[in-house]
Amino acid sequence: MQLESLRRRALVLARSMGVGVLATVVDLVLLTLFVHGLHLSPRLASIPALALGVGVQFLGNKLFAFRDRSRAWVRQGALFLGVEALGFAANLALFDLAVSHTRLPIIPLRLATTSFVYFALCLPLWSRIFRRRDAAEAAHAMEVST
């Protein structure tokens, strides 16, 4: 049973990382477009680029990574936004700190800061929001609620 649980967690991690890659591509493309195409400062361009990445993260993690088909969109969305508010602030702060204290290009800086926030903060909390129940756990929850 533990091996199956470990296997399921590894699959969720792999799928969530895939969603993260897609969200990161959206973020990086927009960040690059805003900075180099529209000549916005990296700090200002970071805000809309991250915001659109958050939308990709929610949909991708709920539907694909965690395969959560519950109808709790509003509750999960609110919880997800809470986690993302923390993640968003952490991403902005870390990116600002990195831009202010290094001369590294913005893309490697963004990858480093968002990866850290993803693994240290967001993924562990998302796992609590999008929990698939196995049949026994769901049956127990139904018994307790009646």
For residue 131, is pLDDT > 90? no
Most confident of the ranges 10-14, 33-37, 46-50, 83-87: 33-37
91: buried, middle or exposed (CB in 10 Å: 19+, 13-18, 0-12)? buried
Mean pLDDT of 85-101: 93
Reported as a pLDDT band with limits 50, 70 and 90, residue 135 is very low
pLDDT value at residue 144 = 46
Mean pLDDT of 41-49: 92
Reported as a pLDDT band with limits 50, 70 and 90, residue 133 is low
One DSSP character per residue, the chain reads -HHHHHHHHHHHHHHHHHHHHHHHHHHHHHHHIIIIIS---HHHHHHHHHHHHHHHHHHIIIIIIS----S-HHHHHHHHHHHHHHHHHHHHHHHHHHHHH----HHHHHHHHHHHHIIIIIHHHHHHHSPPPPHHHHHHHHHHH-
Reported as a pLDDT band with limits 50, 70 and 90, residue 39 is very high
Reported as a pLDDT band with limits 50, 70 and 90, residue 141 is very low
pLDDT value at residue 143 = 54
pLDDT value at residue 61 = 94
Structural domain of 124:
2-145
pLDDT value at residue 81 = 92
Tally the domains of the chain.
Answer: 1
For residue 24, is pLDDT > 90? no
